[in-house]
Amino acid sequence: MPEAKTMENYTTLMGALASTIPIIQVRPRWVDALASKDAILGVQVFQHTNCTLQIQTALVPEGPWTTIASFTGSTVTTKYFTSREDGTNKFDRYLRWQLDRNAANWKTGFKLEVNVL
Amino acid sequence: MANRLVQQLRTPSIGKPDSSAATGEGESTLEALLNFQPYLTLLVPATITELILACKGWIDGKDNVAYTMEAQVLHIQNVTLHVESAPDREGPWLDAIAFTATTKTMVVLSSEGGSAKFSRFIRWRAEGDGANPWEICFRLKTMPGTTLDRAVQKPRVA
Amino acid sequence: MAGTTIELQPRIVIKCTMAGNTGEIQDVDGWVDTSRYRVATAISEVDMVDNCELDLEGCDVMGGAFMTHAAFTQALAAACVITLNRNAPYGAPEHLSNLMRWKIVASGNWTASFRITLVLK
Give the CATH number of the domain where residue B144 resides.
2.60.120
Residues C62, C68, C74, C76, Cα dihedral to 10° = -90
- What is the overall mean pLDDT for chain B? 80
The set of chains that have 3 or more CB pairs under 8 A with B is A, C
Whether the complex's predicted ipTM is more than 0.85 is answered with: yes
Q: What is the pTM of this model?
A: 0.85
Which amino acid type is present at position B68?
Answer: T
At A69 the pLDDT is: 94
Q: Domains in chain C, ordered, with CATH? A: 4-120 (2.60.120)
Q: Does residue B59 form part of some domain?
A: yes
Give the closest-approach CA distance of B30 to chain A in angstroms: 20
Check whether C27 has a pLDDT greater than 50. yes
Choosing among 3.40.50, 1.10.10, 2.60.120, 1.10.150, the CATH entry for A5-116 is 2.60.120
CA distance linking residue A95 with residue A66, whole number of Å = 10
Phi-psi region of C63 (alpha: psi -120 to 50; beta: other; left: phi over 0): left
DSSP B86-151: ESSTT---EEEEEE-S-EEEEEEEESSSSSSB--SEEEEEEEE-SSS-EEEEEEEEEEE--BHHHH
Domain span at B42: 23-149
Report the 10 Å Cβ neighbour count for C45.
20
Q: Does residue B155 form part of some domain?
A: no
Q: Does residue B29 form part of some domain?
A: yes
Residues 38-77 of B with CB under 8 A from A: 40-45, 47-48, 51, 54, 56-57
Tell which wins on pLDDT, C99 or C90: C99
pLDDT tens-place string over residues B52-104: 999 889 999 988 889 999 999 999 999 999 999 999 999 899 999 999 999 99
* Cis before B155 (ω within 30): no
Reported as half-sphere exposure (CB side, CA atoms, 13 A), residue B80 has a value of 10
Provide the pLDDT confidence category of residue B149 given band limits of 50, 70 and 90.
low
> What are the extents of the domains in chain A?
5-116
Which amino acid type is present at position A56?
Answer: Q
C120 touches B at CB < 8 Å: yes
CA distance linking residue A56 with residue A63, whole number of Å = 10
Q: Does residue B12 form part of some domain?
A: no
State in Å, rounded, how far the first CA of chain B is from the last one: 34
pLDDT tens-place string over residues A44-54: 998 899 999 99
At A40 the pLDDT is: 94
Residues of A in contact with C7 (CB under 8 A): 26
Burial of B112 (0-12, 13-18, 19+ CB in 10 A): exposed
At C55 the pLDDT is: 97
Angle at Cα C26 formed by Cα C23 and Cα C28, nearest 5°? 135
Burial of B123 (0-12, 13-18, 19+ CB in 10 A): buried
Total number of domains in chain B:
1
pLDDT tens-place string over residues A51-107: 999 999 999 999 899 999 999 999 999 999 998 888 888 889 999 999 999 999 999
Give the closest-approach CA distance of B1 to chain C in angstroms: 14
